[in-house]
Structure 1
């Protein structure tokens, strides 16, 4: 019967026969004596089950001292494969030229939650200074990268990048156990309990190995349970099945300063990142994939020979998470073209670069600001010439959504966005760094760093969304737009897209509502200009003339002369020849009178004044242009500077130095918040009505935009297709972001 079983397996697995170098064993790299024991048992079981002619019947286990030693052995052809934490995977790819062939998949997918655990009632995430800390591993996803990325993004930890991050961490915590950190900062290993020895093979102190009791996530939790440390940074897999005693004694530290039960890791965590993955040398990727498919087919959860050996169970060998994590459901084999961003995710790769995993280079001192037109680019370059802080580099995208994509890809660093685009950016993993303040300059604090934390309670100056028409056009009303030509600042604009939907396509009386408001707008208006849209909502747009060519028609940038608040007003009055005009313009009230005056001074239109326009009110009436306090479509939240979390403090620090150094009273000719007179367009980079930029890294996005705005945006994007959100959802850990996106309240 045993012989028949072997014959069956041989026939069914024949297609998996690898092409290893002739006669050589496949060599798995191990990191501890217990892992070596499990690997050796796997090798013996394969030798028993597979025919002698099968290449994988001869597997050997190569003992290494550290993960870096493993990587070196694989690169040097002394071992072939190993499973590593994602932080080490990045090092393996970038520094050892290894390739990723598979990822571990758990019940929550291939990503893990980074959690901070403490004894009940002892700590919160904002009061960790001088605490004793336990970490699963140096430069590991949940024990190092995500926690320190979070602390840096909230300005709870300050790092000027002129010294190693480990030195800053050493000064922050009183004592730690961070396995794999090395001996540069002794107090980061002070709490570890592995055996010390001058003989390398016998030294396990502060090493990433099961011979170090406090290594890995289970070890970090053990460090906390043994009262060696006050807080443990680890992945959620270690607390997926907590004991009743664990639930009673320990709790999670949440980003907003609160705490939660251990079972609440999906809503109370410091972020998500990729889990473990298997690496090998580049030319061995096919062989390694076949080996993984084979052992999983035999010994996985549904394996044909799982009674002989259990791939994802370490208890029989006296340890935990040996070779693979014990909670692994399957090994997900990757395609041949998997690059580092597709394997680890764009957000995670950007985080690692921000933490200096490739070393600190000149790029770290440069701020890359995203622009959407040549006019913005010109202003940005003038800014760069005048600024006296970190070097400024200006990058060009075709739209605000293009800027969001570039920042996520780490091709740009920051951009100021209207509320809807800021909402989208947050869904893409970006974070507020600063907020535009449109009030009186006397309201701007003398020292912005001392701005009170209750700014969300104090509120921001009110800005209104308006529907503007010519007074002479008496037939137009909000309730009858089916035969009208509409002018909108751009697709996704607050006044001309989101708030407008409440009184048009999402209104109670509208019978053309089909959930996706982009589709609904196409059916609602006869035609119009909504830059960034398509079909009939581009027919009124006019683009930009360069010589005899028409450029940029309906693009979501200043190449479309009907773009933005000024553009919507131009659209309402028509081009200088009086053609291509709309019946109603949806725009914001800020700078409205200046924009009307500019129609005359720029030669766009003659003889028009504010008295030639009126407002359409939601109740069907009309009002003078000055009555926007009572006749409007709702309040517009402030614009927000968005960036990647890891560089939030860096971006705000740059902004503060810029706006302080470029003040008129300091003799600066360059004005950060003025555009039209010099560049011919208003609201370039920032709104011209901005008086100062205030810090926002410590605030949640809904503190800046308001709960009602977030609820409206949630309801709209629930079924409105968005290409930029589709792009952001391709990031490997994006699926669960919505539940933790706004949890960073002060």
Structure 2
């Protein structure tokens, strides 16, 4: 009986130890902090003695030990192997710790500016700018660190200063770009990336600190990168702004090629990233959070025992940034339900994935193009079968805004967007890779050129053609004019589209949508602006009604024209359609030929002009609602060059293949819908080069878009909250225009205030 009881007791103890890890803190078990240098070990030991002095002997944190590690990777290994419990790491290494070492972040360092750090490039005054760094010598605070590696390389890749085809390690690309470097933690694959480092060398592992992320490497961390620059070893230092000192002999390199004083880091930087965070093993979450809360309450800036130890000060121990950054003001304890996106941010995680922090996987060797409907998916799959460049994979979202989200989350790589959605994508951190050229391929060139790339190269010096936004009605609807559309039915290509939504808001009174029209079809909207929509029918059931993709038969330019004509049974039609002038004649011909409507001709339609008159369809140059900028291929900044390279190879190979029946810029005849993936009027895709999206869209379009759109901190569009305010504001436009009040003055006074 006694033997049986002992067995049960042992099983109970084992069970409790597994289920309640807090029991580790019984007398004799110590909380273990991982340290990276002898000076950090001294500060940690002082922390342990201070805790022992102020806590009761039976307190679980009265016994703390300091575990000396060789470098940050060694710390991660020790924590995973239960040989240490916690350490504070750069955000880039936090991602590595979570993804590759199965650790978890439980706290973040906060500074006077919050949780973020600015990545800056520092040089001696008057020596370099960001666009002539090739061949220089560089100092970095750490390999795969936020401000010394991730953000600078992301910036350089986005500006095409570096080209990385991912068939080789990124370190090789960097080693060819810089002459010599010190990038602590980079490894031995590219010796010149460690050539400037000064740490002690030894064949004994524990004594070798050369080019390691450890305080024993003098050029490690941001202090070390600045030391590398000041010593004359390097020409440029990539580091965080927290280490910047007020020195007259040095300056910052700005993204526009200019320079600025060191104090201008908020306006002259390569980008922002998350600050350092504390990581631990999964089962140590609560214990580590309790430990961080305790030491902060005791030894933080407002701590009860701060006279014994200043937690965020290191000078007295002979070093800087020991255990935590010296600039830290507070440790933020993270909630249990926070995920990596909440800790590091969506943009930063996408950047890390793009830089291959999880290793170069299959996703890095393919291009993932975003489609929004079954029709686009069919065309994309045909493209993938015919392309002779990088492998193409087709992924599907339910709308263009959905594609923006997928690209942000690194679930897709590229999509061609109309001007409005390109504006949204730009506000949300994406970048243009190519632009659709809508001019004729050969009319500007005597004899033409043998390759699209040559035409595209020349076309930048011609003009980026724009499209016209039109209001179209049936010729027999004589009472329909722009001033008399109130209470009528409207057809729009989609919500947020330039012709069917954005430009409409500045041209005339009916732009009040729900408050002005009786009902209509604006795919992606809701309520009355969906009542005319029809979706698609299968087995007696209707699907995709009012969806912002081709599953709604009234979506896009072809769809708005269908809506104006009405369905084949003569129902569900509108009185006016707002669409683009391109392919209009071809779309009318296609709808007649496909059986949607019999006997229709372009002469059956007329244009509505802003002056209240009507005109023939051929008068679109003088009777229109405004110009629409070209569509733009948008992607994440770090893979801009990769996407552009794929596009150029793809369209050149398709142009050269005379036997291929697939046409990248034609859709309706084969797939039953127009403008799939790209506009059918596209001649070729042009490189963006150093141009910003603002230059492509034009100042007047961006000014209008600035008045209407907004983007959330998370980096995804947040437009619905402004939609009803927009309707109210635009309703007032009718009164203003009738009274000849300046539209520009109204936009400046009212829209600028409404949408802040």
TM surpasses 0.5: yes
The match for 1:493 is 497
The match for 2:111 is 106
CA 1:537 to 1:294, structure 2 compared with 1: closer, same or farther past 3 Å? same
The match for 2:743 is none
Contact 1:449 1:695 in 2 (8 A): no
* Offset at residue 705 of structure 1 (A): 1.0
The match for 1:380 is 380
Indicate the larger mover: 267-276 or 686-695. Answer: 267-276
The match for 1:700 is 692
The match for 1:646 is 638
The match for 1:430 is 430
Per-residue CA shift, 1:267-315, capped at 9, x if unaligned? 3222222221111111001100111111112222222322332222222
* Offset at residue 552 of structure 1 (A): 0.8
The match for 2:12 is none
Unaligned runs of 5+ in 2: 1-20, 722-756
The match for 2:569 is 577
SS of 2:42's equivalent in the other structure is: helix
Q: Are residues 1:196 and 2:206 paired?
A: no
Per-residue CA shift, 1:58-97, capped at 9, x if unaligned? 1111111100111111111111000001111122112211
SS of 2:398's equivalent in the other structure is: coil
Contact 1:432 1:697 in 2 (8 A): no
Distance in 1 of aligned mates of 2:178 and 2:363 = 29
The match for 1:356 is 356
Contact 2:451 2:652 in 1 (8 A): no
Indicate the larger mover: 307-316 or 383-392. Answer: 307-316
Distance in 2 of aligned mates of 1:723 and 1:110 = 17
Per-residue CA shift, 1:410-434, capped at 9, x if unaligned? 1111111101111111222211111
The match for 1:587 is 579
The match for 1:521 among 513, 521, 541 is 513
Contact 1:664 1:671 in 2 (8 A): no
* Offset at residue 697 of structure 1 (A): 5.0
The match for 1:159 is 164
Distance in 2 of aligned mates of 1:572 and 1:156 = 49
The match for 2:704 is 712
Distance in 1 of aligned mates of 2:421 and 2:105 = 35
The match for 1:538 among 506, 530, 535 is 530
Contact 1:528 1:541 in 2 (8 A): yes
SS of 1:82's equivalent in the other structure is: strand
SS of 2:628's equivalent in the other structure is: coil
* Offset at residue 456 of structure 1 (A): 6.9
* Offset at residue 721 of structure 1 (A): 13
Distance in 2 of aligned mates of 1:131 and 1:409 = 34
Unaligned runs of 5+ in 1: 1-16, 511-516, 730-746
The match for 2:44 is 39
Contact 2:419 2:632 in 1 (8 A): yes
Indicate the larger mover: 365-374 or 664-673. Answer: 664-673
Distance in 2 of aligned mates of 1:410 and 1:93 = 18
CA 1:723 to 1:230, structure 2 compared with 1: closer, same or farther past 3 Å? closer
Distance in 2 of aligned mates of 1:97 and 1:151 = 30
Per-residue CA shift, 1:125-173, capped at 9, x if unaligned? 1211110001000111111112112222322212232332222211211
CA 1:718 to 1:660, structure 2 compared with 1: closer, same or farther past 3 Å? closer
* Offset at residue 665 of structure 1 (A): 5.6
Aligned pair count reads: 696
Distance in 2 of aligned mates of 1:408 and 1:274 = 17
Indicate the larger mover: 66-75 or 35-44. Answer: 35-44
The match for 1:56 is 61
Could you say what the CA RMSD is over the residues aligned between the two structures, in angstroms? 2.5
* Offset at residue 212 of structure 1 (A): 2.1
1:264-279 equivalences in 2 (<5 Å): 264-279=264-279
Contact 1:20 1:287 in 2 (8 A): no
Distance in 2 of aligned mates of 1:642 and 1:304 = 53
Distance in 2 of aligned mates of 1:716 and 1:142 = 34
The match for 1:625 is 617
Distance in 2 of aligned mates of 1:429 and 1:99 = 27
CA 1:727 to 1:475, structure 2 compared with 1: closer, same or farther past 3 Å? closer
The match for 1:466 is 470
> How does the TM-score come out when normalised to structure 2?
0.88
Distance in 1 of aligned mates of 2:73 and 2:672 = 57
